Structure 1
Amino acid sequence: MSVELMVWDEPVPITRDQARTAYLAVKRTDPVTGGAVPEVAKELPGKITLYPGHVLVTMDLDTMDEMSAQVFTLAQAHGLVCYDPQRDLVHNVAPLGVYEGMQLHTGDGMIVKDPDLGLVHDVLATLSPQNPFVALVNFGRHFLQVSPGYELEYKEGTLVRTTVAELAEVQRAFHDYATGERSFLSRHEWSA
């Protein structure tokens, strides 16, 4: 079984719906044969198929996590959008959080360095038995993590926990954390 990612240029951040629509439209067209290969396509791992203005990366399910991380990093380095149709997630170039090198980790194996804030927001809605946690990690400093049932864990020295009632509050806490705000700490009762 194989999985795909699609990479292309967008002048502004796009939504998952826009990315999905673009992906489906491109898949209905014929691949490009011959001609110049875009620089990013030469660097991408996996099997590469070129479409007008788009690069489709196909990889084995067994190598998906490792290769996806490489594709996300290369797309970001080239200022390109990356759409993951398996997870229905779009990786935009911006806006980013304030912590350079921050990593997004998911329980289903996705790791993204310097994730855009829209991706963080959307990933949180994928919490499930198949994706049992989402974490934003600033290695050696602090992290914020959530699991189904919306149990938040925050560590900066001491690990503290709280449970929130709604996904919207989880998304708000992660946004605050990623942007350097600490108001999520005062909005909740935390216990060690």
Structure 2
Amino acid sequence: MSFDLAVWFAPAEVTAAEAKARYHQLADAEPGDVKHPQVAAFYRELTARYPELVDDFENSPWAAGLDVTEDAVVMPITSPHAEVARFVLALAQRHGLVAYDPQSGEVHNPGVLTFTSANGFRAENPDETTIRTALHRLSRTNWHAVLERGDAYVQVGQGRNAGAPEGHYALEHRDGSPDRHYRTDVPSLDDVTTAFLAFATHDDTWRTHFEWRKLDF
């Protein structure tokens, strides 16, 4: 089993219908060399991490060769390699590219602020009310939420599932690369909300409100 992800450059935000049409165009497009600089940079970094499929079918995450055009890359990913999809989405955001999942119809426009939580809730560019409401729905079962922009994010985990002390929240943030991942435990949902709302508005002063410890992976 495999699934596709497609990445390309677009000068403006893309709707789901536009992304679907573009994906079908790519399926019929003639392959060629990448010429768009942002897509070329994406492709170089992608294949440095996960090389093109040659003959190592057992260990490669690719179900077939990558489909490359002047300004797009379509990737057939084998289903056991979900971590590759996460890498692709983060990499596309970092290079300012649209990413499209044709299986779900989900579009990831670059620079978009996305809120997701353990209960399946998802919102793009959420306003303050949406963020506050979603955070107040955290519970023992809906115990995790993340607010991300590209490859930077702030996330929270509640209670034992997150390894937090009883009655506390595990608050984490990451600034791009995995070696810039930090955590603190906070006793109040108000502290969590402050961090999430500040991240949403590009206000970095919230970071000085907490004592962080660096996490190594």
Q: TM-score range by the shorter chain?
A: 0.5 to 0.7
| Change in 2 beyond 3 A, CA 1:107/1:42 | farther
Q: Does 1:117 align with 2:125?
A: yes
Aligned counterpart, 2:145: 136
Secondary structure of 1:38's aligned partner:
helix
Correspondence for 2:102 among 75, 85, 102: 85
Deviation at 1:105, TM superposition (A): 5.4
Cα distance between partner residues in 2 of 1:73 and 1:35: 20
Aligned counterpart, 2:30: 30
| Change in 2 beyond 3 A, CA 1:68/1:21 | same
Q: Does 1:104 align with 2:113?
A: no
Q: Which runs of 5+ in 2 are unaligned?
A: 51-60, 131-141, 147-154, 157-169, 173-186, 190-196, 202-217
Deviation at 1:83, TM superposition (A): 0.3
Cα distance between partner residues in 2 of 1:77 and 1:117: 17
Deviation at 1:2, TM superposition (A): 1.4
Cα distance between partner residues in 1 of 2:95 and 2:7: 10
Aligned counterpart, 2:92: 75
Cα distance between partner residues in 2 of 1:92 and 1:136: 20
What's the Cα RMSD here? 3.8
Deviation at 1:12, TM superposition (A): 1.5
* Segments ≥4 residues shifted beyond 4 Å: 34-37, 105-108
Contact 1:94 / 1:116 at 8 angstroms: preserved in 2? Answer: no
Q: Does 1:53 align with 2:71?
A: yes
Q: Which has the higher Rg, Structure 1 or Structure 2?
A: 2
Secondary structure of 1:40's aligned partner:
helix
Q: Does 1:40 align with 2:72?
A: no
Aligned counterpart, 2:138: none
Cα distance between partner residues in 2 of 1:74 and 1:68: 10
Letter in 2 for 1:56: V
Cα distance between partner residues in 2 of 1:134 and 1:16: 29
| Change in 2 beyond 3 A, CA 1:82/1:141 | same
Cα distance between partner residues in 2 of 1:35 and 1:19: 19
Cα distance between partner residues in 1 of 2:117 and 2:43: 25
Aligned counterpart, 1:9: 9
Of residues 66-75 and 8-17 in structure 1, the stretch that sits farther from structure 2 once superposed is: 8-17
TM-score computed with the length of structure 2 as normaliser? 0.47
| Change in 2 beyond 3 A, CA 1:43/1:88 | same
For residues 128-170 of structure 1, give each alpha carbon's deviation from its aligned partner in whole angstroms, at most 9, with x where no partner exists: xxxxx8963223349xxxxxxxxxxxxx846xxxxxxxxxxxx
